[in-house]
Amino acid sequence: MSWIVSLPCTRDEAEALSGEIPELDALAAPPVVVTREIDEEAGTWQLDAYVDDKPGADLLALLKSLVPSATGVAPQVEALPEADWVTLSQQGLEPVRAGRFFVHTSSYADAVPAGTTPFLIDASQAFGTGGHDTTAGCLAMLDRLAATGASPRNIADIGTGTGLLAFAALSLWPRARAIASDIDPASISVTRENAAINGVALGRSGGQLALAVAPGTDHPAIRHRAPYDLVVANILAGPLITLAPDIAAATAPGGHAILAGLIARQMEPVFAAYRAQGFRLAARGGSAEWPCLLLTKRRRYGYRRKERAFHRANPADATFGSW
CB contact at 8 A, 309 and 222? yes
Residues linked to residue 139 through DSSP beta bridges, in sequence order: none
Find out whether 182 is annotated in a ligand binding site.
yes
H-helix or E-strand spanning residue 189: helix 185-197
CB contact at 8 A, 29 and 52? yes
CA-to-CA distance for 237 and 220, rounded, in angstroms? 25
Find out whether 154 is annotated in a ligand binding site.
no
CB contact at 8 A, 181 and 211? yes
H-helix or E-strand spanning residue 237: helix 237-242
H-helix or E-strand spanning residue 312: none
CA-to-CA distance for 291 and 252, rounded, in angstroms? 24
Find out whether 135 is annotated in a ligand binding site.
yes
Pairing of strands 228-234, 154-158: parallel
Residues forming the annotated binding site for S-adenosyl-L-methionine? Answer: 135, 159, 182, 234
Residues forming the annotated binding site? Answer: 135, 159, 182, 234
